Amino acid sequence: MTTVRDKNIDEEAASLRAAMVRELRNLGAITSDSVADAVAAVPRHLFAVGEPLKAAYAANQALVIKRDEDGTALSSLSATHIQAVMLEQAGIEPGMRVLEVGSGGYNAALIAELVGKEGASISVDIDAEIVERARKCLDAAGYEQVEVVRADAAAGVPELAPFDRIIVTAGAWDIPSAWLDQLSDRGRIVVPLRMRGLTRSIAFDRAAGPEAELVSDSYRLCGFVPMQGASAYTERLVHITDGLALRVDDQKQDFDTDALAAAVRSPRLEVWSGAAFDLPDELELFLVTNTPEMVMLHGSKDLVDQGLLALSVTRGVPTLVSGGSFAYRTKRQNEETGGFESGVLAHGPDAEAVAARYVELLRRWASDHQRRGAARIAYRPLPAGTAEPSQGVVAKRLGAVAFSWS
């Protein structure tokens, strides 16, 4: 029996849901009526059990649903903002078969709305507890038709393939071959792919012709809890000194940590590019994909307070390392333009040389590529372990991600 309290909750949830749809449209996350209608239809609060209604309908708030003993998030209900973005990237149409990797339940319900009665929404997760939770939430929200499968998602769900769309809702370091095998001939995969410390949601389509590669011109900034199971990948953290480390994708790359630790306390070289600092997420992607030696530098606020490093290191910053020297980007206000100018801070015996290389990248970005969507991305499957990093190429275990910039 529906109580007055239940009715009041439903009415408040509907109002908050409508407001969230308007906000997502204003933010540019929702651009189509079909995604707007799906978000307006699915009661997100039924997938955010125990959370206040306002938290359930906060457009940019992810909700952790499982942590490990150390408090690290193992599974989360992603922020509706990025879910809407990825659904728009996917371009789901009625009647499609869609596989979701990672089972929070809510996104699978959105997919069910988009594919309609003639389509199929299938969700797979390695964690039995998460699968059970998703199943209960989907049933409570009226989405019994969604299939939830417990399996290592690296193997896909071959018994239910092929899929017109595969949407990955966990951070992936590579693209398992099973996903490609189970993707239809004209299929699309939307995956949060991690590359040299940065994650982007990339919508890959199969390329025309005999090649097996995937191609994309759609990518968006995002962040997700990492994949588990066979496709899990642990980035390497190279400690330089107290409160300072390099986050590295390539397990083979060597660093002279003693020399770099000494460089931190050496005089700092400051070089300004004369180029505007804008679109930092696009700039970072350009930097890390154009130089194999570029890694992410993470530093503590204490080192900043000591005057050794700039504030940008506290958030992680692309850093060019050469022997015992390193350089990273910074910015300053430009009184002439009223905006910011990009620059470089360098340390170590070869500070001038490494700073010059970095500044050249900043100037090339500003003169040739400073706009959204300038990258074209291809994923090329290769025999395991054969990919090699180079300019414009990020090596993966099962393939290579190649970037070209227009």
Among residues 15, 34, 76, 78, the one annotated as catalytic is: 78
Give pairs for 340-344: CB < 8 Å, separation 24+.
Answer: 340/276, 340/277, 340/278, 341/272, 341/273, 341/274, 341/275, 341/276, 341/277, 342/272, 342/273, 342/275, 342/276, 342/277, 342/283, 342/366, 343/270, 343/271, 343/272, 343/273, 344/270, 344/271, 344/272, 344/273
Angle at 16 between CA 199 and CA 107, to 5 degrees: 40
- How far apart are the C-alpha atoms of 76 and 86, rounded to whole Å? 16
177 in catalytic set: no
Strand 393-395 to 340-347 pairing:
unpaired
The amino acid at residue 263 is A
Q: How many CA atoms lie within 13 A of 400 on its CB side?
A: 17
The amino acid at residue 367 is S
Residues with catalytic roles: 78
